[in-house]
Amino acid sequence: MYNAKAYSVAGATSPFAATTIKRRDPTPHDVQIEILFCGICHSDLHTARNEWSSVMPTVFPCVPGHEIVGRVTKVGSAVTRFGSGDLAGVGCLVDSDGTCPECRASLEQFCPNGTLTYNARDKHLGGVTYGGYSDSVVVDERFVVRVPSNLDLAGAAPLLCAGITTYSPMRHWGITKGKKVGVVGLGGLGHMGVKFAHALGAHVVAFTTSPRKKEDALRLGADEVVISRSADEMRKHAGSFDFILDAVSADHDINAYVHLLRRDGNITLVGAPEKPLAVSAFGLLLGRRSLSGSPIGGIRETQEMLDFCSTHGITADVEVIPIQKVNEAYQRLLKSDVKYRFSIDMASLKSP
């Protein structure tokens, strides 16, 4: 074991503070990574504040962070795909059983025995896993992906969660040139959804409640922007979408979007509203439309997504902050006051 610098919260109402955590020495299958950037995902905030206590209660102290990009500093003797100095990424998962049908299908995100990057049981050291708000991390090579060197690293970090979460359902639902794709909600997830749909060749319509976001949506790659509060504007698109990505995590009327789908169209939820959504059966019946959800993606697909980003020059739009500003960033995140993701420059952890 060795000591790593980190920022943790001691309780659901405590601010982040500098601390030291234990990391394992790399086993033969491990990769040790010096963390350069870590994105701030809304899940980090939910976990730090124990807002998901009914599903996965937070064990304190908690070190969140699952949008990790860094440089390999050491590899175990059995590691074959990474060497010292390589750029590497780690997302929401750091382990799985590797034997179940989901793992064998490279869909580790559905493994019943998966290990999340933070706040999950640590098989090696006991206690819980600690995430990326730290200067280093040690991860089984199977859960480490290559980060293409042409990507801006601060903007690449959010690809590990926000990126794969929006890329995966678009691949699953066959988004290609000629499809009409809607993206609801222009936040950390939604802005990535617009970029991917555009790069996949779709005709992209961004839905937003705020006219202020129109210019930005067009800049991100939307072909059209619809102000969702306008019933008239919404009606114009009735029955026309192949696919809609719903990235809204607040309560909202999903039926308004279901009606915009064409026959066999699909709307996929990637946001997680706290309360159940009311869904009209008629909206789904008429047109054989479907509603589904999608969480992150498997490791193989995460690598595919990063390579796609490399080819198309895609990264998240980020505001880079030093770790000392993380409490302030959380306050702003609560107000959706960020374009579109915070990325922590982990070099700041070295300063006192």
- Token digits for 58? 């937070």
User: Looking only at residues 32 through 71 of this chain, which bind Zn ion when binding is defined by CB under 5 A?
Assistant: 41, 43
To Zn ion, the closest distance from the beta carbon of 97 in angstroms equals 4
User: Looking only at residues 153 through 192 of this chain, which bind Zn ion when binding is defined by CB under 5 A?
Assistant: 161
To Zn ion, the closest distance from the beta carbon of 190 in angstroms equals 14
What is the distance between the alpha carbons of residues 123 and 172, in angstroms, rounded to a whole number?
Answer: 32
Specify the DSSP element, H or E, that contains 181.
strand 180-184
Q: Provide the residue count of the chain.
A: 352
* Number of residues binding to Zn ion, judged by CB under 5 A: 8
To Zn ion, the closest distance from the beta carbon of 239 in angstroms equals 33
Residue whose C-alpha is closest to residue 95's, from 63, 127, 129, 65: 129
> Is 113 buried (19+), middle (13-18) or exposed (0-12) by CB count in 10 A?
middle
Chain centre to alpha carbon of residue 129:
18
> Is 181 buried (19+), middle (13-18) or exposed (0-12) by CB count in 10 A?
buried
Closest CB to Zn ion among residues 47, 136:
47
Enter the DSSP assignment of 250: S
Residue 302 binds Zn ion (CB under 5 A): no
User: Looking only at residues 95 through 114 of this chain, which bind Zn ion when binding is defined by CB under 5 A?
Assistant: 96-97, 100, 103, 111
User: Looking only at residues 200 through 229 of this chain, which bind Zn ion when binding is defined by CB under 5 A?
Assistant: none
Closest CB to Zn ion among residues 64, 221:
64
Residue 303 binds Zn ion (CB under 5 A): no
Closest CB to Zn ion among residues 139, 205:
139
To Zn ion, the closest distance from the beta carbon of 110 in angstroms equals 8
Residue 234 binds Zn ion (CB under 5 A): no
Closest CB to Zn ion among residues 161, 200:
161
Alpha helices in 144-254 (DSSP H): 153-156, 162-172, 188-199, 214-220, 231-235
To Zn ion, the closest distance from the beta carbon of 107 in angstroms equals 9
- Contact residues toward Zn ion (CB under 5 A) are 41, 43, 96-97, 100, 103, 111, 161
